[in-house]
Structure 1
Amino acid sequence: MNAWTRAAAGDDVEKLRKALAAEHAALFAYGLLGARTSGSLRARMTTAFDAHRARRDQLRGFITTRGAKPAEPDASYALPFFPASSTLATKLAVHLETGVTAAYLELAAAQDVALRRYAAVAMQEAVTRSHGFRPAQPVAFPGMPVAASPPPSSSPVKDGE
């Protein structure tokens, strides 16, 4: 292994560590969110927690396979706000998934092609989870006009009118 290959492999390890740090933070927050929600929202939070735990374990394996030591999670993480309601809980979940997506975006620039594929799938999953927590109303692309809602009709339209 030449010096450039060793440097590239070390760079990949640092990218893996950043993704791992994002997963640690997501697990901390989803643990809190799962404890503070109920019903179908809690089930979705639990599903997200399980997905992030699986990704965390995979990242730890990738790091140790490369001869490096994965970082352990912090005892606590600062949250941007406290999820005191289901609305705030879903807002925090969206925030978490956005952060995880950003960490995997950096991993998508890894030297190892397999890691780039892994990062792309992880980003796709995080974005899908994020949109699952958002309100059902889609957002227009930047620069595109927002479609106007049709005005409510005062009487139903019947066929043939």
Structure 2
Amino acid sequence: MSAQSLRAAQASLAAEHAAVYGYAVVGARVGGDRRTQATAAYDAHRARRDALVRTVHDLGGEPVAAESAYALPFAVPDSAAAVKLAAVLEDRIADVYSDLVRAAGGPLRQEAAAALREAAVRAVRWRGSGVPFPGLAERSAAGTA
């Protein structure tokens, strides 16, 4: 594996650390069925984070540690803001996994593609709509082919 794969895996790991933190906030603000959805996403991101720790080790790197806290992109005072945050978290995860798909090969590339797909599906569930190119922010924002 290349140094590029290791950098992309580290970036994915850092994003998963942030997602786990973010979903703790989401889970505290949403209620009912959305809390179940938040818990499932939290668990999924923890599992991906743990797998990436092993991947980074396997690639010869020292896994990036989680920060003690993360700055949220906006205030999350209520359930509506928490739902919006969850969609943003998934968009960010899709972005870093798209980089890992481009950088890696073999089983790691397959895992990254699966993680990107899962993030895109969760984002649609939170947002209620999808984006044309999950993980490719520049194309999603422009709506170009």
User: What is the TM-score when the length of structure 1 is the normalising length?
Assistant: 0.77
1:71 pairs, out of 39, 46, 64, with 64
Matched, 1:48 2:41: yes
Matched, 1:126 2:94: no
Consecutive unaligned residues of structure 2, counting only runs of 5 or more, are: 133-142
Distance 1:23 1:113 in 2: 21
Matched, 1:115 2:108: yes
Dislocated runs of 4+, deviation >6 Å: none
2:83 pairs, out of 90, 94, 105, with 90
- Conserved? CA contact 2:124–2:130, under 8 Å: no
Q: How many residues align?
A: 134
Describe the shift of the 1:112–1:86 C-alpha distance in structure 2 as closer, same or farther (beyond 3 A).
same
- Displacement of 1:36 in angstroms is 2.1
Q: Percentage identity across aligned positions?
A: 37
- Displacement of 1:98 in angstroms is 0.2
Partner of 1:36: 29
Consecutive unaligned residues of structure 1, counting only runs of 5 or more, are: 1-7, 144-161
Which is helix-richer, 1 or 2? 2
- Displacement of 1:16 in angstroms is 0.2
SS in 2 for 1:117: helix
Partner of 2:74: 81
Distance 1:111 1:104 in 2: 10
1:103 pairs, out of 96, 103, 113, with 96
- Displacement of 1:110 in angstroms is 2.1
RMSD: 1.8
1:66-116 deviations in Å (ceiling 9; x for gaps): 221101100111111121121111111000000000000000012422221
User: What is the TM-score when the length of structure 2 is the normalising length?
Assistant: 0.85
Kindly provide the amino acid, as one letter, of the partner of residue 114 in structure 1: P
Q: Which has the larger radius of gyration?
A: 1
Distance 1:134 1:49 in 2: 17
